[in-house]
C-alpha cells in the first residue's frame, strides 16, 4: 500500500498510526512542521486497516436534534482560569467522579502540545485552556481503548478531526466513552509555534518558561492576551498585537486540510461541542460580564446526560440554532487561506520570526475575514 488518503485532505488524526498491527505507519514531520502518515513498505502487510479507519474516507453522519445553550461556570475562579465559560473543568470533574479518565491537549516540559490524560482532579489544570497548535495524538487512541475495554469511563476532548479519528479507530461504540470537540478555527503548525517561542526566548534573554496562556483574561474575555511567564519576567500582548496570534488568525500558518475541512458540518459526531459565545451581548446580554461565556451544543443523548450532571453548577439559558451560524461561522465554514501562505513557509527558516510575520502575514485581514464570513452566513440564513 502506497498512500492512505490525499495528502491535502489528511488531518493528521493518527487513526492509521494507531490501528496498524505491524507499526508500518510512521508519522513523519514535513517541512512545515505537520505530521503525515508514511507507510514503511518493508513492514506493511496490506491488511487495509489504515484505509478502513481513515475518517477522511468515511461519511459518518449524526442526525441528533442538537440543543444550544449560553452558559458559564458559577465558580468564579474556575471560569477566570478557563478560555471562555469554564465548562470543560465541570465535564472533566463529572467523569473523574465516576472513577474515569479525561484526555485532552497539554504542554510538555518544552511547551510542545500533545495529548495526554489525567485521573485526578488536581491534574485537570494541565488540560485546561486553549492551545492554538496542532496537538500530537501519538498512541493516545490505543490508551483510550485500553481504558474502555476495562469498563472505565473516558472523556476524550479535542478537535473535530481528532474525535472522528478516535471513533474510526475504535470501530465500535462504547457506552462509557464521552467526547467533546470545539468550534475550531484551524490548527497552526508546531514548527511555527517553536519558531515563535525561540524568538520570545531570544528577546527576553530567558530560556526558563514557567507558564503559557493563549487566552489570558487580564484585560477582558473578548480582548484576550497571549501571556508567557518567564522566570522573573512576563510577556503579555493582546491577541491582535501578538505575532503568533496574528499568523494564526490571519490563516497564514494552518494545516493544508484546514482550508477545506472535512468535518465542518451541521452534524458533529461528538457528544458535546464547546465554543466561545461570541455575540452573547446581543443575544443574551444578561449572560455577558466579560469574564467568559460558552456556547454549548448538545449533539447526542450521551451529551445531554453529561450536561445534566453539571448544569446545576452553571448559569445558563437555552439559545437557538441559528446563533451558531451568525456568530461562530467557523462551525461550518473552513478558514480562507492567506494569499501569502506559500511565501510565509518558504521563508520560515530564512528570517527572524518578527520580520517573517510583518512581511508575510496580512494583518488587516484578521478581523475583516471574520466579519465578511459572518455577513455571508447571515445573508444565507435570511435567504432560506
Domain ranges across the chain: 15-57, 67-187+254-331, 190-253+338-383
Q: What is the pLDDT of residue 363?
A: 64
Pairing assessment for the beta strands 314-318 and 67-73 based on DSSP bridges: antiparallel
Cell numbers standing for residue 66: 442538537
Indicate whether 230 pLDDT > 90.
yes
> When comparing pLDDT for 205 and 64, which is higher?
205
What average pLDDT score do residues 72-96 get? Answer: 96
What residues contact residue 9 under an 8 Å CB cut-off, 6+ apart?
Answer: 56, 257, 260, 262
Cell numbers standing for residue 214: 493563549
Query: What are the tens digits of pLDDT across the range 17-72?
Result: 999 999 999 999 999 999 999 999 999 999 999 999 999 998 777 778 899 999 99
* Cross-strand pairs, 116: 104
Indicate whether 376 pLDDT > 80.
no
pLDDT tier for residue 365 given thresholds of 50, 70 and 90: very low
CB-side neighbour CA atoms (13 Å) of 86: 21
What average pLDDT score do residues 272-291 get? Answer: 94
The domain defined by 15-57 folds into Alpha-Beta Plaits (3.30.70)
Closest CA to 248 of 295, 192, 306: 192
- Spatial contact of 170 and 18, defined as CB atoms under 8 Å apart: no
What average pLDDT score do residues 211-218 get? Answer: 94
3-state class of 78 per DSSP?
helix
Q: What angle do CA 265, 267, 271 make, to 5 degrees?
A: 125
The pTM assigned to this predicted structure is: 0.93
Indicate whether 156 pLDDT > 50.
yes
- Spatial contact of 159 and 258, defined as CB atoms under 8 Å apart: no
Cell numbers standing for residue 135: 496537538
Indicate whether 378 pLDDT > 50.
no
The rounded distance, in Å, linking the Cα atoms of 363 and 249 is: 9
Q: What is the pLDDT of residue 1?
A: 59
The contacts found for 62-65 with CB under 8 angstroms, 24 or more apart, are 62/267, 62/268, 62/269, 62/299, 62/300, 63/267, 64/267, 64/299, 64/300, 64/301
Average pLDDT value over all residues in the chain: 92
Q: Can you spell out the DSSP letters for 121-178?
A: GGGGGGT-S---SPPB-TTHHHHHHHHHHTT--EEEE--HHHHHHHHHHH-S--TTEE
The rounded distance, in Å, linking the Cα atoms of 133 and 31 is: 16
3-state class of 379 per DSSP?
helix
Q: What is the pLDDT of residue 104?
A: 98
Q: What is the pLDDT of residue 375?
A: 44
Q: What angle do CA 110, 115, 116 make, to 5 degrees?
A: 95
Indicate whether 330 pLDDT > 60.
yes
Indicate whether 367 pLDDT > 60.
no
Q: Return the DSSP state at 337.
A: P
The rounded distance, in Å, linking the Cα atoms of 384 and 381 is: 5
Taking CA atoms, 345 is separated from 18, 38, 258, 350, 352, in Å, by 29, 22, 16, 10, 13
Amino acid at each position: 500500500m502506497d498512500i492512505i488518503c490525499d495528502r491535502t485532505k489528511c488531518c493528521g488524526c493518527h487513526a492509521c498510526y494507531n490501528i496498524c498491527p505491524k507499526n508500518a505507519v510512521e508519522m513523519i514531520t514535513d517541512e512545515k512542521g505537520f505530521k503525515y502518515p508514511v507507510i514503511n513498505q518493508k513492514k506493511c502487510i496490506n491488511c487495509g486497516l489504515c484505509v478502513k479507519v481513515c475518517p477522511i474516507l468515511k461519511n459518518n453522519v449524526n442526525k441528533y436534534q442538537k440543543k444550544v445553550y449560553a452558559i458559564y461556570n458559577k465558580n468564579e475562579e474556575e471560569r477566570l482560569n478557563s478560555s471562555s465559560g469554564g465548562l470543560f473543568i465541570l465535564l472533566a470533574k463529572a467523569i473523574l467522579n465516576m472513577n474515569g479518565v479525561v484526555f485532552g491537549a497539554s504542554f510538555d516540559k518544552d511547551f510542545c502540545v500533545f495529548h495526554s490524560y489525567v485521573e485526578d482532579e488536581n491534574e485537570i489544570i494541565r488540560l485546561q485552556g486553549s492551545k492554538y497548535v496542532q496537538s500530537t495524538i501519538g498512541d493516545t487512541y490505543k490508551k483510550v481503548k485500553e481504558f474502555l475495554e476495562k469498563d472505565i469511563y473516558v472523556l476524550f476532548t479535542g478537535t473535530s478531526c481528532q474525535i472522528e479519528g478516535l471513533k474510526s479507530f475504535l470501530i465500535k461504540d462504547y457506552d462509557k466513552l464521552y467526547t467533546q470537540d470545539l468550534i475550531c478555527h484551524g490548527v497552526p503548525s508546531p514548527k511555527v509555534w517553536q519558531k515563535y517561542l525561540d524568538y520570545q526566548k531570544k528577546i527576553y534573554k530567558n530560556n526558563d518558561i514557567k507558564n503559557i496562556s493563549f487566552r489570558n483574561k487580564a484585560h477582558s474575555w473578548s480582548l484576550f492576551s497571549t501571556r508567557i511567564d518567564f522566570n522573573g519576567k512576563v510577556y503579555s500582548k493582546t491577541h491582535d498585537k501578538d505575532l503568533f496570534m496574528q499568523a494564526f488568525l490571519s490563516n497564514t500558518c494552518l494545516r493544508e486540510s484546514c482550508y477545506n475541512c472535512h468535518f465542518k458540518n451541521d452534524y458533529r459526531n461528538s457528544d458535546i461541542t464547546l465554543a466561545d459565545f461570541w455575540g452573547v451581548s446581543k443575544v443574551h446580554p444578561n449572560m455577558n460580564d466579560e469574564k467568559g461565556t460558552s456556547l454549548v451544543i448538545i449533539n447526542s443523548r450521551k451529551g445531554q446526560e453529561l450536561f445534566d450532571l453539571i448544569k446545576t453548577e452553571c448559569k445558563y439559558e437555552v439559545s437557538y440554532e441559528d446563533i451558531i451560524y451568525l456568530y461562530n461561522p467557523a462551525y461550518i465554514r473552513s478558514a480562507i487561506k492567506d494569499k501569502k501562505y506559500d511565501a510565509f513557509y518558504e521563508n520560515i527558516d530564512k528570517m527572524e520570526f518578527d520580520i517573517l510575520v510583518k512581511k508575510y502575514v496580512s494583518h488587516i485581514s484578521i478581523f475583516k475575514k471574520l466579519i465578511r464570513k459572518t455577513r455571508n452566513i447571515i445573508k444565507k440564513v435570511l435567504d432560506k
